[in-house]
Structure 1
Amino acid sequence: MTTQFRNVLKLSPVVLAATFFTANSAMASSVNEQVTSVSQLTAQSDNIGQVTSVSQFSDVQPTDWAFQALQSLVERYGCIAGYPNGTYRGNRALTRYEFAAGLNACLDRVNELIATATADLVRKEDLATLQRLQEEFSAELATLRGRVDALEARTAELEANQFSTTTKLVGEAIFNLSDIFGSDNRAVPSGVNPATAQDLNSNTIFADRVRLNLLSSFFGSDRLQIRLQARNVTPYGTGVTGTNMTRLSFDGNDSNDVLIDKLNYAFNLGDAVRVQVDAFGGLLYENLNTFTPEFNSSGRGSISRYGRFSPIYRVGEGGAGATLSFNPKGPITVSAAYLADRANNPNDGSGFLNGGYAALGQISFQPNQAFNIGLTYARTYQNIGNVANNSINLFNSTGSQYANNPFGGAALTADHYGVEATLRLGPKVTLGGWYGYSEAEAKGGTANGANAYFEYWAANVAFKDFGRQGNVLGFIFGQPPKATGNEFVQTNGIRRQDRDTSYHLEALYRLQLTENIAVTPGVLVIFNPEHNDRNDTVYVGTLRTTFTF
């Protein structure tokens, strides 16, 4: 309707011109003899012809003071006539009959344009209703107008002071209070007498972890991630409890030094392929679907390291490489990844292709929103000097000491096989779990050529909106990685094989206090730590508060 009213308003120059002609008609009649009959007017009009362009007048120049007005009346409204000899005679006074004929032609044109512009307008009654509603809601309209003005001012301020046009900051801070209970001694591996173990230190600790993510996009579909991290959470690992089975999901101690923890760039290739290149700190569990939507996050999910997802996604952790995912908008997603643990080291046995690495492939099948299953395979190679602390760590600090270092420090290759699944029982209950099997072969030392075999599994259940919207109640039960068989026997006669079975039991309740604050009390229980039933059960209690911004 606004456009149609504008079309009507464009006719105003014609009305002004007609008013001008009327005001000057008295002057014209005093100079020229008046025409007193319609026949005279007709005779004169026979000598006047309608023109369509001001350029048709030979005596009108662009320098004339009324050129623009005449051009508008001729070319926009078509209601000005000229003489047969192609002149306009702009300095000649007009008669009242000439004025009447010109005014009538302009009014006819005005009526034609108005009829065209208002053909689809609402009726008069509709306009009256609109006016009544406008008056009735004048206060509300004024409030909205004020809000819009405030938003425009705020937007202008943000644009003038924004951090970056391409980058946004996403942060997370964790405050954690935790302690260990249930045993006076550290756990020991199978075949070792617990009486020889060191004392377990169980003082309550209060620690933190802070992450700042700088997320940049240059095309809309790409993303450059730079993550800064500072933390001082002492891991409840072998140096504290005697086993990595008690480690928390968010632990790690850098004395709160701020470090670049992760650097990667992701982009699309067409509509079906997503590529992520990790220059540093590559984590396959952040690049791939782990089938644990409620427990995956270290800040909002499981409180334990093992309870987050299958250990198969920890291979190559912290390396450099690339991940490719192919999803042709169907139920099947195919992913492949390669990470080298010391890609920046040019020494022998290192580098991007000549050192420790992890190559992984995964097929995910999701026929509907309720069910999703994945089959995963990984091939890894680890050699001394290519991993943290110059030690072999096959399952990246999940499971027993024999599982992570089956050949007493010798380099090894391993094949990992895993199956993972998630099943939603309605909108608020999710079941999930995983099973994994691995085979490793020693590649050096006295164990060269020996083979070892490993198994692990877990099941979980999550209840969403439990007690209150946003809250999550979760339980995880399973068996951490276990060395079920090993051909290697140490010189002291000990075979690095787990004889008993450990069980992992975890319960947590995430309280979503606000959109940005969550408090998660949880307890972790490890039965028969280190797959040794001679060890006492260990309990870990934690209260994790997570701030997101």
Structure 2
Amino acid sequence: MKKALWELVKIGPLVVAATFLAANSTLAGETNEKVTGVSQLAQDSDSMGQVTSVSQFSDVQPTDWAFQALQSLVERYGCIAGYPNGTYRGNRALTRYEFAAGLNACLDRVNELIATATADLVTKQDLATLQRLQEEFSAELATLRGRVDSLEARTAELEANQFSTTTKLQGEAIFNVSQAFGDTRADNGANLESNTVFSDRVRLTLNSSFTGKDQLQIRLQGRNTISNSSVTGTNMSRLGYDGGTNNSVEIDKINYAFNFGDAIRVKVDATGAELNENVYTFNPDFASSGRGALSRYGRFSPIYRQGGDGAGVTVNVNPNGPLTFSAAYLAPSTSRTTAGVTTNFGASNPSEGTGLFNGDSTIFGQIAFKPNKALNIGFSYARTYLVDPTASNSGLFKSTGSTFANRPFGNARTEADHYGLQATFQPSSQLALSGWVGYTNADAVTGPSRSADAWYWAASLGVRDLGAKGNVLGVIFGQPPKITGGSGIASETGTSYHLEGLYKVRVSDNIQVTPGLLVIFNPEHNDNNNSIYVGTLRTTFSF
């Protein structure tokens, strides 16, 4: 190596071919002297440009010892390049691979000069020196060219077989092992009999962008995780990702989001609309169904379940500053089966009393105040109208809380005002405290005049990076929705409490294992009911 460099020094202009090429084809990091990978060399070379004068380098002065040699290289061979910021960095160290990359560029330039009948510019002495250098670095040059050829072949293969130029595929698969246990059911006092189950939920999402700032989302889903309410007699024991379709694949979500100006984001849902995916829910560690809380109630405030699984539009306004304003109109998809006939009250049904505006509907608004990363506060309001609260996927709180809290007036048409206050406090990057409190005032639209008041609250603690980076220990405690007063109806005298402990273990970037235990004290807000437990081991694969 030293001998080869000395020969470069002896021949003048081409000498610094090594110096120039090695130094500024260095394609590596600044001065950290780490060995640069060949693939990185090839990538970074595209970011450097040829120069026509040494004066273009901000860090090369006429008094530098190599100034004349550099100037000669520019004038005679035109094979000297610099960094995008106009520097040359001639004093940094180089590796053999970096030297080989520079030498290879110089060889290509000499061949170009010969091919264009300008071979008289290349002296016999320079060619001899290049030949010796080529022999000295034959191994590195072969490796460099081989890897570049391999990269070009792989790039061509990817371009020829890519799924789409506009669409990316994302997936998530949940393996669930769980069992509910306790003494008696919450609904009728019968013995609680259940078995350990192994179930799954799989989602494949196609995200397409046509302008770079928009997104068309189409999600496919198959699952066979049956709700625990079928054996416990209460929705309070439900998991956050349950639902059974015998793994039949269905399109459960279609939406399109785009920017309307610099500060306005609009999202139009054709089906599968969920407020918790359209606005911020103030529970960052536990909001996700696949990587968050294990339970349904522990994920976020029930106010974000209003208008679920339907169609509509959501607008988020985020001007420069700590405030974000959100507004939405959603028509949830609900159905009722009577005498074998199923009636859909969703936005897609053109029949009288249904459709986008005459069926079930939700008007939602939220103000989120985020003065800094440590503190986030939000106030939410929702106005809902339910054609039949006893219908599938209906109820005041969408099957969260007690049965009576969801249907205080039976199947009478119901309208309600929901108010929610949510907050997150993160005193450090390893600790997060979140919570919510909500109040609902509901009125029966049909039948006798009746009203109901409901309250709910919860708090969560997330301890991050406990045991290993990416792990999260979580505790969630709260009271699910409960009817506390009203007129023409009875209040719930008991109080249920929700306690959940879980530990999210990050096996890798794509695999998370979460063991946890859910305890429901006094289920269905009945102090005479025995506690119900749900043990769960969830494994989430994402790709």
- Normalising by structure 1, what TM-score? 0.72
Does the CA-based 8 Å contact 1:406-1:486 persist in structure 2? no
1:154 maps to what in 2? 154
CA distance in 2, matches of 1:454, 1:132: 71
CA distance in 2, matches of 1:255, 1:311: 27
2:507 maps to what in 1? 513
Residue 529 and residue 152 in structure 1: after superposition, are their counterparts in 2 closer, same or farther (change >3 A)? same
Does the CA-based 8 Å contact 1:375-1:420 persist in structure 2? yes
CA distance in 2, matches of 1:486, 1:520: 40
Matched, 1:376 2:416: no
Does the CA-based 8 Å contact 1:383-1:392 persist in structure 2? no
Residue 255 and residue 120 in structure 1: after superposition, are their counterparts in 2 closer, same or farther (change >3 A)? closer
Q: Counterpart of 2:212 in structure 1: which amino acid?
A: G
Of 345-354 and 314-323, more deviation after overlay is shown by: 345-354
Matched, 1:233 2:225: yes
Does the CA-based 8 Å contact 1:176-1:208 persist in structure 2? yes
What runs of 5+ residues in structure 1 fail to find an aligned partner? 6-115, 189-195, 490-494
Residue 335 and residue 387 in structure 1: after superposition, are their counterparts in 2 closer, same or farther (change >3 A)? farther
- Offset at 1:155? 1.9
Q: Deviations over 1:265-310 (max 9, x none)?
A: 0000010000000000100100000001110100000000000000
- Offset at 1:520? 0.4
CA distance in 2, matches of 1:131, 1:125: 14
- Offset at 1:125? 3.1
1:367 maps to what in 2? 371
Of 150-159 and 168-177, more deviation after overlay is shown by: 150-159
CA distance in 2, matches of 1:538, 1:177: 17
CA distance in 2, matches of 1:360, 1:270: 22
1:478 maps to what in 2? 478
Q: 356, 381, 403: which one pairs with 1:352?
A: 356
Which residues of 2 match residues 13-52 of structure 1 at below 5 A?
none
1:431 maps to what in 2? 433
Which residues of 2 match residues 111-510 of structure 1 at below 5 A?
117=53, 125=66, 133=94, 137-138=99-100, 146-183=146-183, 185-188=184-187, 196-237=188-229, 239-341=230-332, 342-384=346-388, 388-389=391-392, 392-445=394-447, 448-489=448-489, 495=490, 497-510=491-504
Identity percentage of aligned residues: 58
- Offset at 1:369? 1.2
Residue 205 and residue 119 in structure 1: after superposition, are their counterparts in 2 closer, same or farther (change >3 A)? closer
Of 144-153 and 456-465, more deviation after overlay is shown by: 144-153
Q: Deviations over 1:497-538 (max 9, x none)?
A: 211111000011011111111100010000000111100011
Residue 431 and residue 145 in structure 1: after superposition, are their counterparts in 2 closer, same or farther (change >3 A)? farther
Query: Secondary structure of the equivalent of 2:493?
Result: coil
Does the CA-based 8 Å contact 1:392-1:411 persist in structure 2? no
Residue 162 and residue 539 in structure 1: after superposition, are their counterparts in 2 closer, same or farther (change >3 A)? same
- Offset at 1:200? 2.0
Query: Secondary structure of the equivalent of 1:240?
Result: helix
Q: Counterpart of 2:383 in structure 1: which amino acid?
A: R
1:30 maps to what in 2? none
Larger-gyration structure (1/2): 1
Which residues of 2 match residues 525-544 of structure 1 at below 5 A?
525-544=519-538
Does the CA-based 8 Å contact 2:273-2:308 persist in structure 1? yes
Residue 130 and residue 365 in structure 1: after superposition, are their counterparts in 2 closer, same or farther (change >3 A)? closer
Does the CA-based 8 Å contact 1:392-1:405 persist in structure 2? no
- Offset at 1:329? 1.9
What runs of 5+ residues in structure 2 fail to find an aligned partner? 1-12, 14-51, 71-89, 101-138, 333-345
- Offset at 1:133? 4.7
Q: Deviations over 1:352-384 (max 9, x none)?
A: 111110110000001111111000000000012
- Offset at 1:180? 1.1
Q: Counterpart of 2:215 in structure 1: which amino acid?
A: R
Does the CA-based 8 Å contact 1:407-1:488 persist in structure 2? no
Does the CA-based 8 Å contact 1:171-1:213 persist in structure 2? yes
CA distance in 2, matches of 1:409, 1:157: 60
Residue 411 and residue 119 in structure 1: after superposition, are their counterparts in 2 closer, same or farther (change >3 A)? closer
CA distance in 1, matches of 2:257, 2:224: 30
Q: Deviations over 1:393-437 (max 9, x none)?
A: 110011001100001221100000000000101111000100000
Residue 155 and residue 539 in structure 1: after superposition, are their counterparts in 2 closer, same or farther (change >3 A)? same
Does the CA-based 8 Å contact 2:181-2:193 persist in structure 1? no
1:545 maps to what in 2? 539
Residue 135 and residue 187 in structure 1: after superposition, are their counterparts in 2 closer, same or farther (change >3 A)? closer
1:47 maps to what in 2? none
Does the CA-based 8 Å contact 2:390-2:411 persist in structure 1? no
- Pairwise CA RMSD: 2.2
Q: Counterpart of 1:181 in structure 2: which amino acid?
A: F
- Offset at 1:349? 1.2
Residue 144 and residue 504 in structure 1: after superposition, are their counterparts in 2 closer, same or farther (change >3 A)? farther
Residue 119 and residue 178 in structure 1: after superposition, are their counterparts in 2 closer, same or farther (change >3 A)? closer
Does the CA-based 8 Å contact 2:452-2:486 persist in structure 1? yes
- Offset at 1:197? 2.8
Does the CA-based 8 Å contact 2:378-2:423 persist in structure 1? yes
CA distance in 1, matches of 2:538, 2:280: 25
Q: Deviations over 1:176-222 (max 9, x none)?
A: 00001222x2103xxxxxxx533323110100000000000000000
CA distance in 1, matches of 2:273, 2:306: 10
- Offset at 1:150? 3.0
Does the CA-based 8 Å contact 1:222-1:267 persist in structure 2? yes
CA distance in 1, matches of 2:193, 2:417: 36
- Normalising by structure 2, what TM-score? 0.73
Does the CA-based 8 Å contact 1:475-1:507 persist in structure 2? yes
CA distance in 2, matches of 1:133, 1:506: 57
CA distance in 2, matches of 1:263, 1:420: 28
Residue 119 and residue 427 in structure 1: after superposition, are their counterparts in 2 closer, same or farther (change >3 A)? closer
CA distance in 1, matches of 2:93, 2:453: 82
Which residues of 2 match residues 42-121 of structure 1 at below 5 A?
117=53
Query: Secondary structure of the equivalent of 2:524?
Result: helix
Q: Counterpart of 1:315 in structure 2: which amino acid?
A: Q
